[in-house]
Amino acid sequence: MPDIKVTPLGAGQDVGRSCILVSVGGKNIMLDCGMHMGYNDDRRFPDFSYITQNGRLTDFLDCVIISHFHLDHCGALPYMSEMVGYDGPIYMTHPTKAICPILLEDFRKITVDKKGETNFFTSQMIKDCMKKVVPLNLHQTVQVDDELEIKAYYAGHVLGAAMVLIKVGSESVVYTGDYNMTPDRHLGAAWIDKCRPDILISESTYATTIRDSKRCRERDFLKKVHETIERGGKVLIPVFALGRAQELCILLETFWERMNLKAPIYFSTGLTEKANHYYKLFITWTNQKIRKTFVQRNMFEFKHIKAFDRSYADNPGPMVVFATPGMLHAGQSLQIFKKWAGNEKNMVIMPGYCVQGTVGHKILNGQKKLEMEGRATLEVKLQVEYMSFSAHADAKGIMQLIRMAEPRNMLLVHGEAKKMEFLKDKIEQEFSISCYMPANGETTTVTTNPSVPVDISLNLLKREMALGGPLPDPKKPRTMHGTLIMKDSSLRLVSPEQALKELGLSEHQLRFTCRVHLQDPHSDSDTLSRIYSHLKSVLKGYAVQHLPDGTVMVESIVLKVSSSGEDPNLKVILLSWSYQDEELGSFLSSLLKKGLPSGL
Amino acid sequence: MKLYCLSGHPTLPCNVLKFKSTTIMLDCGLDTTSALYFLPLPLVHSSRLSKLPGWASKDGTVNLEKELKECAGRVFVDSQPEFCLPERELLDLSTVDVILISNYHCMMALPYITEHTGFSGTVYATEPTFQIGRLLMEELVTFMERVPKAQSATCWKNKEIQRMLPGPLKDAVDVWSWKRCYSMQEVNSALSKVQLVGYSQKVELFGAVQVTPLSSGYSLGSSNWIIQSHYEKVSYVSGSSLLTTHPQPMDQSSLKNSDVLILTGLTQIPTANPDGMLGEFCSNLAMTIRAGGNVLVPCYSSGVIYDLLECLYQFMDSANLGTTPFYFISPVANSSLEFSQIFAEWLCQNKQSKVYLPEPPFPHAELIQTNKLKHYPSIHGEFSSEFRQPCVVFTGHPSLRFGDVVHFMELWGKSSLNTIIFTEPDFSYLDALAPYQPLAMKCVYCPIDTRLNFHQVSKLLKEVQPLHVVCPEQYTQPPPAQSHRSDLMLELQPPPMAYRRCSVLGLPFRRRYERIQLQPELAKALVPSEIKPGISVATVSAVLQSKDNKHVLQPVPKPTPVPPSKKRKRLMEEVPELLSPKPLLSGSIPLDAFLASLHKSGITEVKVEETADGHILHLQAEDALIQLEEDATHIVCDNNEPLRTALRDLVLRFLQKL
């Protein structure tokens, strides 16, 4: 029995370092290759030694697919391809291909240049890794090899985020990456067709959350920012350079314009300008509204938002600063946070999920004293607000996607075990399908039941469809007979006659002849008529004919009557049938043996 | 399988393919060359045009002074220009299920087809094709509606009258089917039926046919189409290019193994080399500017213009053109320039990698930024105040019958300092210029047609080896003006099937197989037996289920046992199920082995009699007879059903069942 195996190396009952191995139809695929923000040691990257102990992965993987540019989905890619060793194809969409190397370089700089780590991938490795990337277009069917094909769908999580359908023969798996089922200010909603995969591997970040409407959250966000500004406070919004940042910029830009606000908005990193440029060039990946109006007004050209300089952090008066990274675990956002944390007039708004171990995660849990490098502690007096702007599907969205794709099995990754548990029950109840949630290193095996494709001769099919009538009768299904010829790898279903002809065989005729003795005091021809009437009444639905040459035909079985010389009342009925009519012939001989009913 | 050919124009095709149970229209090109019979539509009142004399036949019997005007010995229709549509009578267009568009030039007739014909299907096109196609339609409509002409000339179309008109008007065909331009509302309605597709996306049509667009290398988003079932494959090649310009390169390998390849859209200027023409374009342009003249380039708002601008970008400084203003005037100029920058996925590698930097893929962004290239929606408004001469103007329409180009013809035509450079290959430049004669301005003809030439196409066909090729009849003979050039035609073995407008071709297909799925339970229950080395057979008895053109074989459901009732006591009365035939038998029965197995089952008294065709076996104790022949066995057995079935099973053991 064929089966599909799924093993998460990362993101199994966890968020971070997404990396999922899938084996389907003899093909091995790695889905995402991310890093974990919460660790600074070996656990930062997935454990590739699970795949092989001795070195390179090329022989063990048919392809690698990256769903989007967030580092927890692609951060380990250069390590995997250049340091562990993988030379096969890496698939990602064009925007991901464009943005991914920039974030990787950023990540490398922070790790190597600032923290001084060695034994890390180099800039050259990032470049070499990106050379192995094959760009994917939405809905394009990419033939990885003769059997393995992949197809990308819009996921709406960040620019260029994709879900992918992996198909080998009639077996298939869908991996969602991170996705969002509600369109936002700059991206559209995820969409997939009814592809009925054997397994749907879905993220489950917000497995238990059902979020209020986006409009409410936006109003809330603007209100909080506005209030802080009004009382002269500073607002820090830690973000990743690409993604939520653009959505929030659009939001603030329009709000500032409408309210005629004067307080400065800054964006902390040099990346921004560039980032916004990517959005302009990949405008086809944004939502419909932006796409439609981009010729008149490009939404990613901001008037109110200016570049940030480090010295501005000490400026007096209100301001709003977007700073990277988003989880306050390093870099500029953390520096600004340290400066502003002591003033209760200020506010930090966390617009997305923070993994365990980061400063972001700690303050969201209400921690008021933070231990910093050295022995210093930092007192957190400023207001901490959490606004879920990260574009993940919530429980409702996940259910919606299941309804769209109609999978046979469900597998959850990229979420917390407890929350997964809850969603798993809900899915199993509502859809009556199995739902799995393997931990890292744990393999889930799903048995598939693929049907066998066969070439049927058009003659046979047409004949059968014509005989079947325009509408099938569910009570009395028609049985079709054919011969399956198996030669090399081809399977052809033809009519038995055609099979004989094709194989150069001649038909062997098997016939039976049977004489039945019957006492019937009538003339031979009367007896024949009586037999005819009898059969006619018994065999309803059969072609029973009385032929002028003194025989009765039932379908293709011939009956003849003669009487023996000695006893004219003793009739001999001669029955002759071929093997094809065996059942009917056997039935007739037994029937006639019992004599004719007297009523005739 | 049939092909209905609705257009006779080889580069503006419109064919309908009936394939399995689907009706697929391939492109719907609009032949705008009919506009050449009409007078230009000036944006500003032109006293020259309004003073042209009306036409009347020499003998005075026909007087059409109101409808026809004479200019430099040629007669033009004074009316809003009309276009030659695809044939609409050859088949019922409401039966068309889908329309596949190959590039934005080949969809201009879409509103005529999707509106007012009862069409209720879907149009498939790539996103760039759709967006730029929309721009070109919008431009066409704006050109027409900007200068409304009350008069609609119809008298001249009268057969009796048309016969008496001077040429070429006399020879125009099907003039009654010509139509005025559609409205923006019709364009929007037509485009609302478009569904976007990406290259190599497999689109299922009714479960019967799969269609896939492939990159054709000719323009942004241009595609060839594969139309296939599991067993048959039709390739539709339209407007393809092997040159490296801005679009993604042509996908050739996917065209392999076609049963039929429909070939349209080859180059219209097979003798001109696009690269050479580009060089000539630049040098003529520079020469005119240096001499203080203006350059007019009549062109479409998308396509080759991107390449021209790129070429000029590189050439400009070395030719000292840095200060010369370049103007691009079209209602959709801005949109076209903006759209060209956002289709990274559809561009050649070179341009794609620019986007990764991130930089705009086309250098015209820089030309605009540095104010070297300016674009305006029309000559009115801003342009008139900023206009400086000498300059270079890119504007449409290339037919010179409508659009802003008409104004520049009137403005610059009188001076020999100025030059008009024709780059679009769709119109004969002499015909285009006819209503402006006499003309002092220089004319340069540099047609740039990047589509496949005959040399490239024969190489391509050798490569992909289709079984049959279908093409417009024009490709099966040399061009009329160069009848000795046998290299300017398709020479194939077998010869291509040629079509013309209104042809209906039967395509040489013999469909023999269809795909069917055996359900796993059924497949598992099959018992294969080897008939010959490497060939096994299994008899299949199953229930056929056909839904949405997909066929599935399921196991025969087990009959639900009938609850024993009093009426059914006599089991013998159970009539056997109708129509459950036994498998066919094959093979022969070896005498000795058969006798041995008879012996084994306790039948020992057998008398064997040799006959001409085999043997007769008398089973003396049982009083039965078995006649064995090479291809037949006959069992004669009276009144002993158990014996008969035993003998039957014995015989069957030696035979193969099919």
- Residues B242-287: pLDDT tens digits? 998 899 999 999 999 999 999 999 999 999 999 999 999 999 999 9
Q: Is B543 left (phi over 0), alpha (psi -120 to 50) or beta?
A: beta
| DSSP state at residue B643 | H
Residue of A nearest to B557 (CA): A477
The 10 Å Cβ neighbour count of residue B371 is 9
Report the pLDDT averaged over residues A490-503: 89
Report the pLDDT value the prediction gives residue B534, as an integer from 0 to 100.
87
B584 and A507 within 8 Å at the Cβ level: the answer is yes
Report the pLDDT value the prediction gives residue A493, as an integer from 0 to 100.
93
Whether residues A119 and A179 share a domain: the answer is yes
Whether residues A396 and A262 share a domain: the answer is no
B658 and A488 within 8 Å at the Cβ level: the answer is no
A411-451 per-position pLDDT tens digit: 999 999 999 999 999 999 999 999 999 999 999 999 998 88
Whether residues A280 and A338 share a domain: the answer is yes
B544 and A464 within 8 Å at the Cβ level: the answer is yes
Residue B463 within any structural domain of the chain = yes
For chain A, say whether B529 makes contact (Cβ under 8 Å).
Answer: no
Per-residue pLDDT band for B568 (boundaries 50, 70, 90) equals very low
Q: Which residues of B touch A515 (CB under 8 A)?
A: 638-639
* Cβ contacts of B89 within 8 Å, gap of 6 or more: none
Is-contact B53 B70, C-beta < 8 A?
yes
Residue A472 within any structural domain of the chain = no
Report the pLDDT value the prediction gives residue A468, as an integer from 0 to 100.
67
Position of tokens 């859809």?
A: A431
Is-contact B589 B598, C-beta < 8 A?
no
Residue A473 within any structural domain of the chain = no
Whether residues B112 and B245 share a domain: the answer is yes
Q: Which residues of B423-436 are buried (b: 16+ CB within 10 A; e: fewer)?
A: bbbbbebeebbbbb
Report the pLDDT value the prediction gives residue A203, as an integer from 0 to 100.
95
Residue B606 within any structural domain of the chain = yes
SS3 state at A598: coil
Count of domains for chain B: 3
pLDDT at residue B614 above 90?
no
Residue B398 within any structural domain of the chain = yes
Is-contact B28 B110, C-beta < 8 A?
yes
Residue of A nearest to B531 (CA): A503
Q: In what order do the strands lie in the sheet with A90-93?
A: A133-136, A90-93, A63-65, A27-31, A19-24, A3-10, A444-447
Residue type, B12: L
Longest Cα–Cα distance of chain A, Å, equals 135
Tokens of B364: 């015209």
Residue B423 within any structural domain of the chain = yes
Longest Cα–Cα distance of chain B, Å, equals 123
User: In 3D, which of B343, B296, B561, B487 has the Cα closest to residue A285?
Assistant: B343
A483 and B651 within 8 Å at the Cβ level: the answer is no
Whether residues B456 and B433 share a domain: the answer is no
Report the pLDDT averaged over residues A495-518: 87
pLDDT at residue A190 above 70?
yes
Whether residues B410 and B469 share a domain: the answer is no
User: In 3D, which of A223, A221, A222, A225 has the Cα closest to residue A319?
Assistant: A225
A56-91 per-position pLDDT tens digit: 999 999 999 999 999 999 999 999 999 999 999 999
What is chain B's length?
658
Residue B602 within any structural domain of the chain = yes
B127 and A284 within 8 Å at the Cβ level: the answer is yes
Report the pLDDT value the prediction gives residue A212, as an integer from 0 to 100.
67
Report the pLDDT averaged over residues A265-278: 78
| DSSP state at residue A581 | G
CATH assignment at residue A578: 3.30.310
SS3 state at A541: coil
Least confident of A16-20, A321-325, B203-207, B379-383: A321-325
Hey, which residues does A295 pair with through a beta bridge? Answer: none
CATH assignment at residue A43: 3.60.15.10
Count of domains for chain A: 4
Higher pLDDT, A350 or B394: B394
> Which member of A140, A151, A454 has the closest CB to residue B516?
A454
Report the pLDDT value the prediction gives residue B572, as an integer from 0 to 100.
44
A203 catalytic? Reply is yes
Higher pLDDT, B191 or A539: B191
**Domain end position, chosen among A386, A406, A428:** A386
Residue of A nearest to B625 (CA): A513
CATH assignment at residue B395: 3.40.50.10890
Per-residue pLDDT band for A377 (boundaries 50, 70, 90) equals confident
Whether residues B49 and B191 share a domain: the answer is yes
pLDDT at residue B501 above 80?
yes
pLDDT at residue B636 above 80?
yes
Q: What is the mean pLDDT of chain A?
A: 88
Is-contact A237 A248, C-beta < 8 A?
yes
The helix/strand count (H/E) of chain B reads as: 17, 32
Residue A476 within any structural domain of the chain = no
Q: Which residues of A touch B656 (CB under 8 A)?
A: 505
Catalytic residue among A203, A218, A247, A385: A203
The 10 Å Cβ neighbour count of residue B18 is 18
Whether residues A234 and A369 share a domain: the answer is yes
Tokens of A241: 């350079």
Full DSSP string of A257-276: HHHT--S-EEE--THHHHHH
Full DSSP string of B259-321: SEEEE----S-TT--HHHHHHHHHHHHHHHHHTT--EEEE--SSSHHHHHHHHHHHHTTTTT-
B72-123 per-position pLDDT tens digit: 889 999 999 999 999 999 999 999 999 999 999 999 999 999 998 999 999 9
Whether residues A582 and A534 share a domain: the answer is yes
Within A474-508, strands assigned E span: 479-487, 490-494
Least confident of A60-69, B33-42, B160-169, B386-395: B160-169
For chain A, say whether B208 makes contact (Cβ under 8 Å).
Answer: no
Strand bridging mode A452-457 / A444-447: unpaired
Report the pLDDT value the prediction gives residue B559, as an integer from 0 to 100.
66
Whether residues A373 and A423 share a domain: the answer is no
B296-326 per-position pLDDT tens digit: 999 999 999 999 999 999 988 888 888 999 9
SS3 state at A475: coil
Report the pLDDT averaged over residues B477-500: 91
Q: Which residues of B touch A457 (CB under 8 A)?
A: 512-513
Whether residues B295 and B376 share a domain: the answer is yes
B581 and A580 within 8 Å at the Cβ level: the answer is yes
B412-461 per-position pLDDT tens digit: 999 999 999 999 999 999 999 999 999 999 999 999 999 999 999 999 99
Report the pLDDT value the prediction gives residue B345, as an integer from 0 to 100.
92
CATH assignment at residue B470: 3.60.15.10
Report the pLDDT value the prediction gives residue A13, as an integer from 0 to 100.
94
pTM: 0.89
Rounded to the nearest 10 degrees, how much is the dihedral formed by the CA atoms of B298, B299, B300, B303? -170
Residue A475 within any structural domain of the chain = no
Q: Which residues of B61-80 are buried (b: 16+ CB within 10 A; e: fewer)?
A: ebebeebbbebeebbbbbbb
Q: Which residues of A touch B513 (CB under 8 A)?
A: 455-458, 492
Residue B351 within any structural domain of the chain = yes
Distance CA B152, CA B399 (A): 20
Report the pLDDT value the prediction gives residue B567, as an integer from 0 to 100.
46
Pairs across A and B, CB distance < 8 A: 257
Report the pLDDT value the prediction gives residue A112, as an integer from 0 to 100.
82
Higher pLDDT, A40 or B210: B210
pLDDT at residue B569 above 50?
no
B411-426 per-position pLDDT tens digit: 999 999 999 999 999 9
pLDDT at residue B578 above 70?
no
Q: Cis (ω within 30 of 0) for the bond into B390?
A: yes
Position of tokens 């009814």?
A: A194
Distance CA B497, CA B517 (A): 36
* C-alpha distance from residue B455 to each of A89, B243, B251, B489 (Å): 35, 13, 18, 9
Q: Name the helix (H) or strand (E) containing B410.
A: helix B405-412
Whether residues A148 and A291 share a domain: the answer is no
Q: Which residues of A touch B127 (CB under 8 A)?
A: 284
Residue A191 within any structural domain of the chain = yes
Residue A599 within any structural domain of the chain = no
Q: Which residues of B touch A454 (CB under 8 A)?
A: 515-518, 553
pLDDT at residue B564 above 80?
no
* Cβ contacts of A456 within 8 Å, gap of 6 or more: A482, A492, A493, A494, B513, B514, B515, B516, B551
Whether residues A228 and A180 share a domain: the answer is no
Residue of A nearest to B581 (CA): A580
Per-residue pLDDT band for B3 (boundaries 50, 70, 90) equals very high
B586 and A493 within 8 Å at the Cβ level: the answer is no
Ranked by mean pLDDT, the top range of A37-51, B396-410, B517-531, B543-557 is B396-410
B355 and A542 within 8 Å at the Cβ level: the answer is no
**B401 lies in which domain range?**
274-445
**A548 lies in which domain range?**
511-594
Tokens of B343: 């289709």
A512 and B635 within 8 Å at the Cβ level: the answer is yes
* Cβ contacts of B105 within 8 Å, gap of 6 or more: B11, B12, B29, B136, B219, B239, B300, B303
User: In 3D, which of A96, A200, A91 has the Cα closest to residue A150?
Assistant: A91
pLDDT at residue B571 above 50?
no
Distance CA B230, CA B209 (A): 8
The percentage of chain B sitting over the pLDDT mark of 70, rounded to a whole number, equals 97
Nearest-CA distance B188 → chain A (Å): 14
* C-alpha distance from residue B59 to each of B56, B62, B63, B74, B162 (Å): 8, 8, 10, 18, 15
> Which member of B352, B512, B658 has the closest CB to residue A483?
B658
Whether residues A89 and A130 share a domain: the answer is yes
Report the pLDDT value the prediction gives residue B570, as an integer from 0 to 100.
46
